[in-house]
Amino acid sequence: ATPTALMVGTGRSAKMGILIKNGEILEEINQIKAIAFDKTGTITQGKPEVTDIYGDQKTVLSLAAGLEQYSEHPLAQAIVKKAQSLQIEPAAIQNFQNIEGKGVKGVYRKKIVSLGNAKLTDEFEISVELSEQYHRYQDQAKTVAILAWGQKVIGLIAIQDTPKSSAKAAISALKSRGLQTVMITGDNQKVANQIAKQVGIDKVVAEVLPENKAMEVKHLQVNGAKVAFVGDGINDAPALSVADIGIAMGSGTDIAIEAGDIVLVKNDLQDVVRSLELSRKIVKRIK
């Protein structure tokens, strides 16, 4: 490939909102066998909203907001916002702790209060009623934050983040080009399966801890298969680097944008397909 031709190609794509940071990768795009996506903020809009609260609303939201006001997780913002909209004061929590990939915890009236996924709240007592409700929410593709105080689960907060409007058509276009599509997420298996089904993704790897996302990309690179990864979060940066082609969402964190080879300014998943088309044209012109 001549550097000038690559530069022309990347200049034109920039006008479309596809920033190709490194022209050398264009030839590799044509050899991609699988494309893996982060879920939150990549496949979904990344604007989670609280849809249901189970348990005593005031108690649940007060404790939850008391914890989440110290967290920067998108789920935390949704919970804090919900409490504010209902004018529920956050409880005064002590010893706040963030537990990466699981949730948050702290102390309230001398007992530990925890909020997060089942990995965090596994050891606590839960009633049949709450447990059934937990599964119902997940079947509705809602992420559930489980609230425990002391040894007992006392409430559930269901949070929904809907797929981007561009997701389904983009996935279908990628599949028709013979690519395997994969979702790699920290979220619960059931919720991940539901979202994947909604947009047509073939394979789901769920409940992945942030430090293991890159390893999951490596698993897809068996026998030298070229793999692209699309993501937006801080915890996506290692996976973006390990992938043969890293595609970052323009709305993503600076760290993700830095790690990507391509940046999609418009956050439109159809631009993943356009990137493939474009590189095919450019490489053909060069050869």
Under rule CB under 6 A, residue 116 binds ligand ADP: yes
Q: Which two tokens stand for residue 168?
A: 């389904």
Q: Which two tokens stand for residue 118?
A: 């089942």
Nearer to Mg ion, 83 or 227 (CB): 227
Taking CB within 5 to 8 Å according to partner kind, which of ligand ADP, Mg ion, none is near residue 164? none
Q: Which two tokens stand for residue 222?
A: 């068996």
Under rule CB under 6 A, residue 101 binds ligand ADP: yes
Give the strands of the sheet with 18-20, arranged side by side: 18-20, 262-264, 245-249, 226-231, 32-37, 180-184, 203-205
Under rule CB under 6 A, residue 174 binds ligand ADP: no
Taking CB within 5 to 8 Å according to partner kind, which of Mg ion, ligand ADP, none is near residue 121? none
Under rule CB under 6 A, residue 251 binds ligand ADP: no
DSSP type of residue 177: T
Interface pick for ligand ADP out of 6, 9, 13, 39 (rule CB under 6 A): 39
| Part of the chain binding ligand ADP (CB under 6 A), chosen from 95-103, 147-155, 249-257, 260-268 | 95-103
Smallest gap from Cβ 153 to ligand ADP, in A, equals: 14
Under rule CB under 5 A, residue 41 binds Mg ion: yes
Q: Which residues pair with 163 in a beta bridge?
A: 44
Beta strands in the chain (DSSP E): 18-20, 32-37, 49-54, 94-99, 103-108, 111-116, 143-149, 152-160, 180-184, 203-205, 226-231, 245-249, 262-264
Taking CB within 5 to 8 Å according to partner kind, which of ligand ADP, Mg ion, none is near residue 210? ligand ADP
Q: 3-state class of 180 per DSSP? A: strand
CB atoms within 10 A of CB 39: 26
- Characterise 157 by phi-psi region: left (phi > 0), alpha (psi -120 to 50), beta (else): beta
Under rule CB under 6 A, residue 9 binds ligand ADP: no
Among the listed residues 38, 161, 232, 271, the single catalytic one is 38
Active site residue 38: yes
- Residue numbers at the binding site for Mg ion (CB under 5 A): 38, 40-41, 232-233
Residues tagged active-site: 38
- Residue numbers at the binding site for ligand ADP (CB under 6 A): 39-40, 68, 71, 73, 75-76, 101-104, 115-117, 143, 145, 185-187, 210, 233, 235
